[in-house]
Amino acid sequence: MNRRELLATATATATAAAVLLCGSPGPARAAALPEARRLLALLRSPAAARRIGRAYLETAADEADPAKLVTLIVGDGADGGTADGDLLRHVAERQRADFAAGRTVKLDGWVLSRTEARLYALAAV
Amino acid sequence: MNDGDCVGEHRVDLLWSRLRYFGGTTGHWGGNCAPLDEHDFEERAWVPDSGWPFPKTELDDSYPKAYEYCELPSGNFSADYWAAQSASFRERRIALAGDPIGEKIMLKSPPTRFGEVYRTALARPGNRCDVYLHANVVEIETTEEASRVTALRTRGIDGQTCRFRAGIYILASGIENARLLLLSNRVRPRGLGNDHDLVGRYFMAHTTLRTGRAMLSLPEGTASYYATLGWEQRFLSEINPFIDALQPSRAAQEREGILNSVVFFEESYEGEKTPGFVAMRRIAKQIVHGRMPPNLLRDLGIVVGDLDEVVKALYARSFGDRSYKILQTRFFCEQAPDRDSRVMLGDDLDALGQRKLVLDWRLNDLDKRTIIRTQKLLAEQFGALGVGRLQVEFDSEADPWPKGVDSSAHFMGTTRMSTDPRRGVVDGDCRVHGIDNLYVAGGSVMPTSGATMVTVNIVALAVRLAGHLRSRLS
């Protein structure tokens, strides 16, 4: 994964969200779940996300399941009725909490939060 | 005369990094200044051989004079103060939480070339100082029991020798202090002040490593507040009067069991870490210093073999192509005091017939852990704040040291300070244990190095020593 891929995928914004709105839906398996579709819509560059996601799944093969990933990404704090803006804030908040708690993963040296790595993995399954 | 050998894994350039002339190494000092931190003076359970004979408060009175001598723009090292002064910094300041990562402001001296700036005052008629140049001290002569110094013997390049006598003697020439004590072995075969085999030991530098990179979502120009001066900035008419370095808090250092450290950002371009570009820099550095590159053919071969990357990086730098710009993280760390890290006398002789220095600079696991844990803290803090992401390259204590570990040419220790003669060469007043009228000034007395630039702290120690001598002589 190079800098441009990561930039294209997950550049942190000044307001702290590390995933950006808009983009195209991910692959069919994950897209079959409505909640997954909404999460994948947060990604700006699904192709780059898939590459990072595949790298993550090599380290966490047991998470290669869309439903499981959705649960791990969203946790208990958001449900199907959450507006897209709130979902973005919720995911960004979970990312920040991951970093604060040291729940990180290293992919090609980039230190990412577990939540964001799982979001990319969702694009890859 | 300044040259010497380096043995062991880590090397420094003893010749280039030291200047033997009036004003000394301030002749190529970078000019960044900040006082040591309070906890640098403390005995820290997780840092073996840490602790000074006195707390920072005892040096606080000496700092204002040191700032004046170093011509600093202010004596205020608060990031909040500088944010209030500068709207540009206010807009770009990274909103750190303080713990685990805080800020350490370093102020910029012009930099003061002491030999030039203070020469006039010393040459003024009626001044009570006599300055002798080209008088290289080759031996400290003492009474038979080595309890008092009786004279300094000097020798010039022309072979002429002299003896200088005084009531009190002060050694003030970095790690040459240790060399001179070891060379003065007529009365004490192991050298003066060396009854406990400490002279030359606990050599320290600032462990400096450019490793990893940052991808930050911050306004243009932010990096200029967090970077040491690059060569291209030296040509700018206006530069920021300070650097805001990032620093793990004292509490974080204790939690992680690491040394003090600060982190700078440096703007760089992709390709500049390739072997070809690094080899090209090596060649250029030697030429700039007026020396024939020692491995010129080999390095030229590396440049040619990597030509596409070299050209790309040169193009990106020359035209400031932002798409190739990266922010490199530069770690600047306190070095763990280590008895086996030392300077010794070698067998080769210099132009004065004196045994040259041999340096065995050693870094240990605590030094490694400090860099690795600091970058983890930084990555987590940036992620938690939503500031950006870090890519790390050196992330396992089991790995060997990466290439490029540097000393920042900050040489400290070798005549360390302690109230206990079994743990230090000089006492809390910087007097050599057991010798009534011999003092040491400079970074060689520092028991720990802190994570800041050395010069202003050396000057503060000298101001404190001057105060002590004034009261002793009165």
Q: Give the pLDDT score at B364.
A: 96
Predicted interface score ipTM higher than 0.95:
no
- Judged by CB atoms closer than 8 Å, whether chains meet at A16 and B393 is answered as no
Q: How many Å lie between the alpha carbon of B377 and the closest alpha carbon of chain A? A: 9
SS3 A105: strand
Distance CA B12, CA B411 (A): 10
> DSSP code of A44?
S
Chain A positions in Cβ-Cβ contact with residue B386 (cut-off 8 Å): 12-18, 92, 95-96
- Measure Cα distances from B339 to A95, B5, B201, B343 in Å: 44, 19, 5, 11
The rounded distance, in Å, linking the Cα atoms of B94 and B245 is 11
Question: Per-residue pLDDT for B351 more than 50?
Answer: yes
Phi/psi for A26 (5° steps) reads -80, -165
**What mean pLDDT value characterizes chain B?**
93
Contacts with A7 from chain B: Cβ below 8 Å: 215
> Which of the four pLDDT bands, split at 50, 70 and 90, describes residue A80?
low
In this prediction, residue B238 carries a pLDDT of 67
Nearest-CA distance A32 → chain B (Å): 31
Nearest CA in chain A to B389: A111
pLDDT at B233: 56
Assess whether pLDDT exceeds 90 at residue B285.
no
Residue A12 pLDDT: 36
Q: At B164, phi and psi to the nearest 5? A: -115, 130
Q: Please check whether residue B371 is in contact with residue B331, taking contact to mean a CB–CB distance below 8 angstroms.
A: yes
Mean pLDDT along residues B72-90: 96
pLDDT value at A43 more than 80 = yes
pLDDT at B295: 85
| pLDDT given at position B236 | 57
* Residues of chain A contacting B97 with CB distance shorter than 8 Å: none
**Chain A CB contacts of B215 below 8 Å:** 3, 6-7, 11-12
For chain A, percent of residues with pLDDT exceeding 90: 50
From chain B, which residues contact A within 8 Å (Cβ)?
Answer: 212-213, 215-218, 270, 326, 376, 379-393, 395
pLDDT tens for B157-203 read 999 999 999 999 999 999 999 999 999 999 999 999 999 999 999 99
Compare all CA atoms of chain A with the CA of B386 and give the residue at the minimum distance: A16
User: Which residues in chain B touch residue A16, judged by CB atoms under 8 angstroms apart?
Assistant: 385-386
A3 → closest Cβ in B215, B387, B392: B215
Is residue A3's pLDDT more than 80?
no
Per-residue pLDDT tens digits for B316-336: 777 766 666 778 999 999 999
With contacts defined as CB-CB under 8 Å, which chain A residues touch B326? Answer: 3
Helix axes of B296-305 and B307-319: crossing angle, nearest 10 degrees: 80
Cβ-defined contact of A11 to B215 (cutoff 8 Å) = yes
Of B213, B217, B384, the CB nearest to A96: B384
Q: Do residue B380 and residue A110 have CB atoms under 8 angstroms apart?
A: no
Pairwise CB contact (< 8 Å): B390 & A11: no
pLDDT(B140) > 60: yes
Interface test with B, best of A2, A15, A110, A113 (most B CBs within 10 A): A110
The pLDDT assigned to A13 comes to: 33
Tell me the one-letter amino acid at B274.
T
Cβ contact, residue pair A109, B384, below 8 Å: no
Q: Do A12 and B213 touch (CB under 8 A)?
A: no
CA terminus-to-terminus distance, chain B = 38
Sign of CA dihedral B464, B469, B471, B472: positive
Of A10, A109, A113, Cβ closest to residue B391: A109
- What is the CA angle B418-B420-B423, rounded to 5? 70
**pLDDT reported for residue A26:** 45
Model pLDDT, residue B446: 98
Mean pLDDT of all residues in chain A? 79
Report whether pLDDT(A14) > 60: no
Chain B residue numbers with beta carbons less than 8 Å from the beta carbon of A10 are: 389
Residue B75 contacts residue B63 (beta carbons within 8 Å): yes
% of chain B residues with pLDDT over 90 = 79
- Counting beta carbons within 10 angstroms of the beta carbon of residue B417, is it exposed (0 to 12), middle (13 to 18) or buried (19 or more)? buried
The answer on pLDDT for A4 being more than 70 is: no
Do A109 and B392 count as a contact with CB atoms less than 8 A apart? yes
Question: For B373, which residue in chain A has the nearest alpha carbon?
Answer: A102
pLDDT at A21 over 80: no
Q: Who among B326, B388, B392 is closest to A12 (CB)?
A: B388
Q: Of B142 and B228, which is predicted with more confidence?
A: B142
Instruction: Provide the pLDDT confidence category of residue B309 given band limits of 50, 70 and 90.
Output: confident
Chain A residues with CB-CB distance to B392 below 8 A: 106, 109, 111
Is residue B289 pLDDT above 90, yes or no?
Answer: no
Query: Do residue A13 and residue B392 have CB atoms under 8 angstroms apart?
Result: no
- Mark yes or no for CB contact B392/A106 under 8 Å: yes
pLDDT tens for B434-449 read 999 999 999 999 999 9
Q: Residue B38: CA atoms inside 13 Å, Cβ hemisphere, count? A: 4
Q: How many angstroms separate the CA of residue B271 from the nearest CA in chain A? A: 13
Contacts of B393 in chain A (CB under 8 A): 109
Judged against a pLDDT cut of 90, whether residue B31 lies above it is answered with: yes
* Residues in chain A closer than 8 A to B217 (CB atoms): 11-14
Taking only the tens place, the pLDDT of each residue in B38-53 is 999 999 999 999 999 9
A66 vs A31, higher pLDDT: A66
Q: Which residues of A touch B391 (CB under 8 A)?
A: 3, 108-111
Contact assignment for B387 to A12 by CB distance below 8 Å: yes
User: Inter-chain contact B395–A110, Cβ cutoff 8 Å?
Assistant: no
Q: Is there a contact between B383 and A102 if contact means CB atoms under 8 Å apart? A: no
The minimum CA-CA distance between A123 and chain B, rounded to whole Å, is 20
Pick from B270, B381, B383: CB nearest A95: B383
Residue A79 scores a pLDDT above 80:
no
Separation between Cα atoms, residue B295 and residue B303, nearest integer Å: 12
pLDDT of A22 reads 34
The pTM is what?
A: 0.88
Chain B residues with CB under 8 Å of A13 CB are 217, 386
pLDDT of residue A51: 92
Q: What whole-number distance in Å separates Cα of residue B469 and Cα of residue B474? A: 8
Q: Range with the lowest mean pLDDT among B193-207, B284-298, B411-425?
A: B284-298
